[in-house]
């Protein structure tokens, strides 16, 4: 079975860095939990944007790994054909940085199993773990939404909040 | 219909640059035509390798575009859902260079339609144009082999030698 795992806001806590930039630019001190009952993209419309920071050199290089992500992906990699699939071509400088980041934290995922694309409808597999529901639209396999401050109001998908939950949910589903 | 187009030795004349490096390192003056009746990979085994040059900064940035590639891809892009799919993650520095190269020569192919991967079995589509038969192995669509000095001895595939030939072959097959 082929398992497709997203990077930003699934393996990497990109949201934490984005929120830091957003807070700095707006003189705020919001925490992720603030968005548990709000539409993130609606809320930020009335504020200074963080978007251009994503195009700056180095933005994606030092993002923190989510707790347990390394251990659980290592386990799943024994059971599934794991591919890391990141919608990254919008940010050209991020590509080499993301390779370095994966080399540092997930060296057991070979370059053969890394995909950087724009529109994810081009990839296929059996299970997709992603934080953006738009990536599920043309995906025929099982869809698992990774909880994130920007998707708290999204409904209709199996949702996980941690890598431990993912282990419990699909840890035994590989090797089929 | 979704058309997947490779970069190296399909859009970009990577083989010409590789042969330059190979000739320099071996005191030779071979031309591509030398390999028309030989197995390229067998021949080079007894010589100094060009491989490490592929990992050097800048290698992929100034490669020449094949004749007519820009015009024909522009035409096909009106008829097909065109994706550029490059097995590039083996060469991390190439990723940003390949984005810049596409921005320069194929700006009409959006970042949304660019894919950099390792193993191409992860992508799906209706037609694939590639110079490596290994990329056809798990592909269920139509396979078109782009003639290259390293695949002259490969048999069993529809083969094209130029972008004009591709236009003649599939130019009318889009919009289905």
Give the containing element (helix H, strand E) for A173: none
Q: What is the pLDDT of residue A175?
A: 54
Contact A124 B124 (CB under 8 A): yes
Of the listed ranges A170-174, B41-45, B126-130, the one predicted with least confidence: A170-174
Confidence at residue B172, expressed as pLDDT on a 0 to 100 scale: 75
Query: By C-alpha distance, which of B104, B114, B124 is closest to B77?
Result: B114
pLDDT tens for residues B21-69? 999 999 999 999 999 999 999 999 989 999 999 999 999 999 999 999 9
Q: φ and ψ at B97, to 5 degrees?
A: -60, -40
CA distance A108 to A72: 12
Say whether pLDDT at A176 is over 60.
no
Tell me: the pLDDT tens digits for A143-161? 999 999 999 999 999 999 9
Please give, rounded to a whole number of angstroms, the shortest distance from the CA of A63 to a CA of chain B: 19
Q: Does B114 touch chain A (CB under 8 A)?
A: yes
Q: Which two tokens stand for residue A161?
A: 């909040």
* B1-176 classified as CATH 3.40.50.1000: yes
Residue in A closest to B139 by C-alpha? A124
Amino acid A172: pLDDT: 75
User: Which chain A residue shows the shortest CA-CA distance from B96?
Assistant: A92
Whether residues A99 and B90 touch (CB distance < 8 A) is answered with: no
Question: Cβ contact (<8 Å) for A95 and B116?
Answer: yes
Q: Flag if B123 and A124 touch (Cβ within 8 Å).
A: yes
* Contact A53/B at CB under 8 A: no
Categorize the per-residue pLDDT at A113 as very low, low, confident or very high, splitting at 50, 70 and 90. very high
Task: With beta carbons less than 8 A apart as the criterion, state whether A106 and A84 touch.
Answer: yes
DSSP letter for A129, please. E
Give the Cα separation of A30 and A28 in Å (integer): 6
> Tell me, what's the ipTM?
0.93
HSE-up of A29 (CA within 13 Å, CB side)?
A: 0
- Extents of the domains making up chain B: 1-176
**Which residue bears the tokens 């144009």?**
B129
Are the C-beta atoms of B153 and B39 separated by less than 8 Å?
Answer: yes
A113 in contact with B, Cβ within 8 Å? yes
Query: CB distance A112–B89 less than 8 Å?
Result: yes
Distance from the B4 Cα atom to the nearest Cα atom in chain A, whole angstroms: 10
Nearest CA in chain A to B87: A112
Chain A residues within 8 A of B118 when measuring between CB atoms: 110-115
**Three-state SS string across B24-89, please?**
HHHCCCCCHHHHCCCCHHHHHCCCCCCHHHHHCCCCCCCCCECCCHHHHHHHHHHHCEEEEEEECC
The answer to whether residue B8 is catalytic is: yes
The alpha carbon of residue B103 is apart from the nearest alpha carbon of chain A, in Å, by 10
Is residue B6 among the annotated active site residues?
yes
**Is A162:A174 a contact under the CB 8 Å cutoff?**
no
């Amino acid at each position: 079975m082929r398992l497709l795992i997203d990077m930003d806001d699934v393996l990497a806590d990109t949201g934490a860095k984005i929120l830091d930039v957003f807070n700095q630019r707006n003189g705020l001190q919001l925490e992720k939990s603030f968005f548990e009952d709000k539409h993130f993209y609606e809320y930020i419309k009335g504020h200074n944007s963080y978007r251009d920071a994503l195009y700056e050199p180095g933005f994606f290089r030092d993002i923190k790994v989510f707790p347990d992500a390394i251990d659980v992906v290592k386990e799943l990699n024994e059971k599934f054909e794991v591919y890391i699939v990141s919608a990254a071509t919008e940010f050209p400088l991020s590509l080499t940085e993301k390779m370095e980041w994966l080399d540092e934290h997930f060296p057991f995922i070979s370059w053969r199993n890394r995909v950087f694309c724009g529109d994810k409808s081009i990839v296929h597999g059996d299970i997709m773990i992603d934080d953006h529901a738009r990536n599920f639209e043309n995906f025929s396999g099982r869809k698992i939404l990774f909880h994130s401050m920007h998707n708290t109001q999204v409904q209709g998908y199996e949702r996980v909040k941690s890598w431990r939950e993912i282990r419990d949910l699909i840890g035994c589903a590989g090797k089929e």
